Amino acid sequence: MIQNIGKNSFNNSYKDFRPEQQDCCLSFDDDKVYARYDEKNKALIFPNCDERNENSIYLFSLNEERYFLGESNEEEFEPFSMRELMTLDLKENKEIFIAFSAYHLYRWYETNKYCGRCGERMDHSKTERAMICPKCGNIVYPRINPAVIIGVKNGDQLLLTRYKNGYSHNALVAGFTEFGETLEETVAREVKEETGLHVKNIQYYKSQPWGIALDLLAGFYCEVDGDDTIRMDENELKYASWVKREDIELQPKRYSLTNEMMEHFKNGLE
């Protein structure tokens, strides 16, 4: 999965660092990141900081390398250009994990320039990852959306879906946790809403940060309870079906918790 970065050490604690020339600077434009793509090694390389990045925001470090958030580049300088995050084909997870994690903070900073309580321009905290209103004292921390990924089992079959819009490959039932709701209650509700099925034996599998949507994903397996007739919500899905282990078609990229859960079921490891 995206966070499986081997022996690399990720440190997300906030420090009030200023960028230096050897540091990496990430810039975004919507869902694109400014980088160089190494075709031969299928690697993503980010530019170093320079005099244009003196106001960059410290993000995190990986091993001894520090990463900063810079402003979007109005001009592109070869060999760097804007690359769509979701189309990147990389050999290792490290670069995509860096890009997704930086994008998560980029989106948060972009939407919290002004105080949601009084409208004043927000300041950066010097001691923690937070934005502080100098007028009313409102403190805002990075937004993280809890969501669930659900592998619904029916004997040697798994419930596969495809979204009506957006991502076109196989997926699992998924959804966001609502207020006043446990993750297990989210599992039961989302399966019922999207497919009309009832479930039992809900068991936690694994979690995953998913910065491209500001999410923290929690994976669960469960079993269909009673009638296994699918009544698909056509507003959410264009496909929902029980699929035998050997017939499961995995996603083309191996970054996601969804793909790992499908793969584990396919191989009888769940």
Question: Does 136 reside within a domain?
Answer: no
Return the amino acid letter for 47. P
Report how many helices (DSSP H) and strands (DSSP E) the chain contains, helices first.
3, 17
Question: Does 128 reside within a domain?
Answer: no
Which pLDDT does position 168 carry in this prediction? 80
Which pLDDT does position 270 carry in this prediction? 76
Residues 6+ apart with CB under 8 A from 129: 14, 105, 141, 142
Number of domains in the chain: 2
Question: Does 118 reside within a domain?
Answer: no
Instruction: Indicate if 104 and 162 belong to the same structural domain.
Output: no
Distance CA 117, CA 226 (A): 48
Question: Does 129 reside within a domain?
Answer: no
Mean pLDDT, residues 205-232: 96
Which pLDDT does position 1 carry in this prediction? 83
Which pLDDT does position 162 carry in this prediction? 94
Which pLDDT does position 74 carry in this prediction? 58
Instruction: Indicate if 177 and 256 belong to the same structural domain.
Output: yes
Reference 149, options 197, 207, 236, 82; nearest CA is 207
Beta-bridge mates of residue 163: 237
Instruction: Indicate if 164 and 244 belong to the same structural domain.
Output: yes
Instruction: Indicate if 175 and 256 belong to the same structural domain.
Output: yes
Which pLDDT does position 90 carry in this prediction? 79
DSSP state of 122: P
Question: Does 139 reside within a domain?
Answer: no
Instruction: Indicate if 92 and 153 belong to the same structural domain.
Output: no
Which pLDDT does position 51 carry in this prediction? 63
Which residues form the domain of 187? 145-266
Instruction: Indicate if 101 and 149 belong to the same structural domain.
Output: no
Backbone φ, ψ for residue 3 (5° rounding): -85, 0
Mean pLDDT, residues 229-242: 95
Instruction: Indicate if 154 and 256 belong to the same structural domain.
Output: yes
**Average pLDDT across the chain, whole number:** 92
Rounded to 5°, the CA angle 2-204-4 comes to 15
Which pLDDT does position 196 carry in this prediction? 97
Residue 241: how many CB atoms within 10 A of its CB?
15
Query: Of 83, 110, 137, which one is at a domain's C-terminal end?
Result: 110
Instruction: Indicate if 31 and 93 belong to the same structural domain.
Output: yes
Query: Of 110, 133, 156, which one is at a domain's C-terminal end?
Result: 110
Instruction: Indicate if 154 and 226 belong to the same structural domain.
Output: yes
Which pLDDT does position 132 carry in this prediction? 98
**What's the full length of the chain, in residues?**
270
Distances (CA, A) of 235 to 8, 16, 164, 168, 213: 42, 46, 7, 15, 20
Mean pLDDT, residues 245-261: 93
Among 120-124, 165-169, 178-182, where is mean pLDDT lowest? 165-169
Among 64-68, 72-76, 137-141, 246-250, where is mean pLDDT lowest? 72-76
Instruction: Indicate if 245 and 179 belong to the same structural domain.
Output: yes
Q: CATH number, domain at 172?
A: 3.90.79.10
Tens digits of residue pLDDT in 61-106: 999 999 999 876 656 676 788 888 888 777 778 888 999 999 999 9
The model's pTM is 0.90
Question: Is 99 in contact with 26 (CB distance < 8 Å)?
Answer: yes
For tokens 């997300």, the residue is: 12
Tens digits of residue pLDDT in 2-56: 888 889 999 999 999 999 989 999 999 888 999 988 888 888 889 998 766 778 9
Instruction: Indicate if 14 and 98 belong to the same structural domain.
Output: yes
Question: Does 5 reside within a domain?
Answer: no
Question: Does 70 reside within a domain?
Answer: yes
Residue 47: how many CB atoms within 10 A of its CB?
18
